Structures are given as structure tokens and as C-alpha cells.
A and B are shown apart, each in its own frame.
Chain A
Amino acid sequence: METGTVAGKKDLFRELASAHLERLYGTARRLVGPDAEDVVQETLMKAYQGFDQLHETGSAGAWLTSILVNCCRDRGRAQAREPEQVNIDDVDDFSLYRKIAREDPFPYSDSLHLDFLQQFGKEDVTTVLRSLPEIYRVPLVLVHMDGFSTKEVAKLVGAPLGTVLARLHRGRKLFEKEMWEHAAATGLLKERAR
């Protein structure tokens, strides 16, 4: 960003970064969990170093997010589950709606599916998201939680639109499947039965 003086550059960067701090932290929390704070700080440092590459202040949000996604990717690479570690063979046919109806975890409920969703707190959602391989988690979070369009996500992650759409589709199905598995493993399905 062309700002004239060094002080002017710092001030403008601080202003832009501060305006996006909360959103960046939220995205990082969903992508890397407890490392979010470190990742945001790393993002700010890299963004400041590359501030000259930002041409319009109006695109600061997307620009900061793309740096954040890369930082999360680097950080999460060592810990993330690889796609092959997750059973995705039958995921396209998985339906959480049918699974809940078939297993009927809350027999006395007259709003079974909504009750299932209501068992999930924010930490549960973060845990489920973090169980997804990164290539599926990133588009899911950016599109459904951070409000980016699929075209914007394609640009942010540097992948063709078709690839992003395919990963988003699989990410949604995996999210449904992992929600069920998380609920079963952590006792969320028994809450109402007590």
C-alpha cells in the first residue's frame, strides 16, 4: 500500500488490521483451534511485511484472510488429518438427517433433528471442524461461516473453482458424518435421555 511516510504506513496498517482482528481470530479459531492467537499474530507480521502488495483498502479483509489461511495451513500441516486418514468412501451417500431419524437418539422428542443440533456448543463445532482434513475444512469455514463466495475462496486458496466446489461438497458431507460421530463419542446423544 502506497502511503507516503513510514509512520503513515504503520497507522494505516494498524487501522485496517484492527478492523479485521475479531473476524481473523474467529476464522483462525475454526481452522487451527487453540493456536489461533499465535496464527493471527503471525498473519499480522506477514501482512505488515507485505503491505505494499495491497492495492486497495477495500480488499484488506480478503487479503488478510488469504495470508491467514496460508499461516493456518503451515501451522496445521503437521497436526492435521490427511484426507486418506478419514474414511470418505461412503461419505457422498451419508445423510445426517436419515441417520438421526433411523437411530432416533431422543425417543420422546417431537423435534428430533433440531434437538440433535442443539446439543452442540461452540467448542463441539470447533472440534468437529478440526477433525476434517484441511482441504475440506478451509472452504467449509470460509463459505458457510465467514460468508465468502466460492469464487472468492478459489482466489484466496489459489485453486480452480471446480476444485473448491468439489471440496466444499465433500466437506459438508464429512462435517455431517463427523457431527454424528462426535455426538456418539462424547455422550451428546445421551443428554436428553437422562
Chain B
Amino acid sequence: MINCSDAVKQLWEYLDGAMAESDRRAIEEHLDVCKRCCGEAEFAEELRGFLADHASDELPAYARIRLTTFLDEL
């Protein structure tokens, strides 16, 4: 079975679903028995959501005016 250090290094990739089947199984076997790494996995999931939640960036009115004026003047 893989150790905690190896599991932690691959958690994001595991959550992406971007791993080979054998690597995914190895992580899952580890998570089945390691409470601490389950905490790591939950936190990595939170961090993914955190990044996505901070993605929206409203276009300020002054910037919108400048950019649409630029487009209008093309």
C-alpha cells in the first residue's frame, strides 16, 4: 500500500479523475484506512471549490465603458 506522503502528492490528480485506474485504486485503498489523508482529500476538495468561487470578477462600469467604446470605434 502507498504511504501518506505519496497519497498526498497525488490527491488533486485523484480529485480531477485524471489518474490511471491502478493509481486511483491505490489512493482509494489508502483513503479507506487513513483518516488523516481523508481529511487532506476533503480539504483539497474545499480548495478546488474555493478557487472556483473566487473566479467571478465583475467588470467594473468604467472598464466596461472603456472596452465597449473601444469596440464601437473599431
Contact = CB atoms under 8 A, between A and B. Distances in A.
Q: Do A and B come from one complex?
A: yes
A37 B66 contact: yes
Contact of A26 (B57, B64, B71): B57
Q: How large is the interface on A (under 10, 10 to 19, 20 to 34, 35 or more residues)?
A: 35 or more
* Majority-rule SS of B interface residues: helix
Interface string A87-100: 00000110111100
Interface string B38-69: 01100110111011101111110001101110
A96 B40 CA distance: 9
A26 B46 CA distance: 21
Contacts of B13: 165, 169
A14 B18 contact: no
Interface of A: 10, 13-14, 17-18, 21-22, 25-26, 29-30, 36-37, 40-41, 44-45, 48, 92-93, 95-98, 101, 113-114, 117, 120, 122, 125, 140, 144-147, 150, 165, 169, 172, 175-176
When A and B form their complex, which 6 residue pairs have the shortest distance between CB atoms, in order from nearest? A26-B57, A145-B55, A144-B51, A97-B43, A125-B54, A29-B57
